[in-house]
Amino acid sequence: MAMKQLAVFASGTGSNFDAIMQAKQAGTLDAKVELVVCDRPGAPVIAKAEQAGVPVLVLRPKDFDGKALYEEHVLSACRAHDIDGIILAGYMRLIGPTLLASYQQRILNIHPSLLPAFPGKDAVGQALDKGVKMTGVTVHYVDDGMDTGPIIAQEAVPVADDDTKESLQAKIQAVEHRLYPEVIQSLSMKEESL
């Protein structure tokens, strides 16, 4: 089964969500975003989704009695929207067994480094602190670890001597906004996806 009906999970700005929507509009992406799940009330991605006419589920995980119940709720919404693929785009939360079991090999993440280098938070800052000359972007399947799942695609981004966190982040995001829709499209075309 191909990934055609997507849910985007996001906690923040939503620039990758925007890039995915733009690819759909440009006709370079066949899959459709049917739902946005946001775990942070007030996050800018919420207004972006509303403006795009995509249903948004905004939840506060601490309102639930544990991660399993939170994920059960998210799972019900995904099922109600016939979601067959989950796209993490700045979702600041580890996916637990409830969602992993139901969407095995159907959850993707994008991370701003060449994994396995610099997993976790602030990958751009970590790269600058280490003084690497090359970093990049990774799209990978999600497993139960932190940025550890099988790698699908990577693209390198050179680090200039005068790069700041902001300038490097901007270069990385420009790559993300092209690469993520491309990878999603290639997976959405696979008959026996993932």
Active site residue 111: yes
When asked if residue 16 is in the footprint of ligand GRF (CB under 6 A), the reply is yes
Chain positions 134 to 193 lying near ligand GRF, rule: CB under 6 A, are 173, 176
| Residue 87 beta carbon to ligand GRF: minimum distance, rounded to whole angstroms | 10
Which span (6-14, 64-72, 73-81, 153-161) binds ligand GRF, by CB under 6 A?
6-14
Residue 90's φ and ψ, nearest 5 degrees, are: 75, 35
Q: How far is the CB of 173 from ligand GRF (least distance, A)?
A: 6
Q: Which residues pair with 93 in a beta bridge?
A: none
Catalytic residue among 73, 81, 111, 177: 111
Nearer to ligand GRF, 12 or 61 (CB): 12
Paired tokens of 5: 């009906």
Q: How many CB atoms lie within 10 A of CB 147?
A: 18
Nearer to ligand GRF, 9 or 70 (CB): 9
Which residues within the stretch 57-116 sit at the binding site for ligand GRF (CB under 6 A)? 89-90, 110-112
Q: Which residues are catalytic?
A: 111
Contact residues toward ligand GRF (CB under 6 A) are: 10, 12-16, 89-90, 110-112, 173, 176
